[in-house]
Amino acid sequence: MTRVALAALMVLSSIVQPVFAQHPSRSSPEALEWLQKIAAAPRQHNYIGTFVYSSGNHIETSHIIHLVDAEGEHEKSEVLDGAPQEIVRNNDEMRCYMPESKTVLTEKRWLQKVFPALLPQPLSNLDDSYIVKLGGQERVSDHACQIVELEPRDDKRYGHKWWVDTRTGVLLKAAVMDKDRVVEQFVFTQLKIGGQIDKELLKSKYAAKAAEWRIINLVSSTMGSGKLGWQIKNPPPGFKKVIEMKRNLSGKPMPVGHIALSDGLAAVSVFIEPVSGQVSPPVEGLYRSRGAINIYSRTVADNIVTAVGEVPPVTVMQIGDSVVNHKVK
């Protein structure tokens, strides 16, 4: 599965490391202003470009076209390596075309992020969970960039280092950091910001063929808070529940429960499904996916609970271990 696909699906109580105490506890006001500029940029600027995702020995190239008009945001991103895949977005409505399996996945954007639009709008108070500060200036893909760093206030989330176009606020490069180690990175190798874009370019090249493909709507139904019958009793500081829903997942005969949490930047999804619906015996414990994504599963009340997120292992473990069943009133 590609990195983009893992990100689309998505949407741990330890001692704070001494290194965090060595830095100022307050974020730079100027750096916080840059976050607002970054969050607003995809809603204000057209762009076309090619970016590379890398993590360890894995490298993946994608092409993106992004248009803003009176009707909102329109975007098409296409993975250029490996199995072909194309995601077309109109505001919060997303369609993922997978020609090899002749499948179209339909989905709301929710917490899903596609580089360079990594920040939500409106922007929540990231200062609660991160110390935001300005770095120097560097040149990326022939654009002058301001470096913005987000240092986690605890060990429950990764740090981030962003290179931001000084003129528009569009992200040119983004690295997820585990202290000084780069966990994963996105970088534009070619980018044009501004100018007119023909809306025809945003149509899927698979649209005509896809009329005969299988269509899976990933969201079965959203639910009121607590109506799913499950809750997370002890989430890490800063992580708040965003939504509860029933989801249709490929390969699953019945919709599964889904609770999403976020600290305003990092997101964790918790999936709950009955053990009786498993084709093979469930796998429990912690295991890594690609890049910053970690996965943790355990059995609770005859259900498999799986926590998935772009967070350190300790965070998915704390969230997964905090899931409890309760009676719905």
- Whether the pLDDT of residue 217 is over 60: the answer is yes
Q: Given a cut of 60, is residue 7 above it in pLDDT?
A: no
Per-residue pLDDT of 153-167, as tens digits, reads: 999 999 999 999 999
Instruction: Return the residue matching tokens 């969230």.
Output: 319
At residue 322, does pLDDT exceed 90?
yes
DSSP 224-251: -TTTTSEEESSPPTT-EEEEEEEE--TT
**Contact present, 4 and 97 (Cβ < 8 Å):** no
The mean of the pLDDT values for the chain is 88
Residue 111 confidence class, pLDDT cut points 50, 70, 90: low
In this structure, how many other beta carbons lie within 10 angstroms of the beta carbon of residue 258? 25
Q: Which of 14-28, 61-75, 95-109, 235-249 has the lowest mean pLDDT?
A: 14-28
Mean pLDDT, residues 229-256 taken together: 88
pLDDT of 22 reads 44
Residue type, 188: F
Phi, psi of 289 (to 5 degrees): -100, -135
Question: What mean pLDDT is predicted for residues 145-150?
Answer: 98
Q: What pLDDT sits at residue 203? A: 96
Residue 11 reports pLDDT greater than 70: no
Mean pLDDT of 289-301: 91
Q: Please tell me the predicted confidence (pLDDT) of residue 276.
A: 82
End-to-end CA distance of the chain: 39
Render the burial of 78-89: b for 16+ CB within 10 Å, e for the rest: bbeeeeebbbbb
Residue 76 in contact with residue 86, Cβ under 8 Å?
Answer: yes
Instruction: Show the tokens assigned to 218.
Output: 């990933």
Burial of 302 (0-12, 13-18, 19+ CB in 10 A): exposed
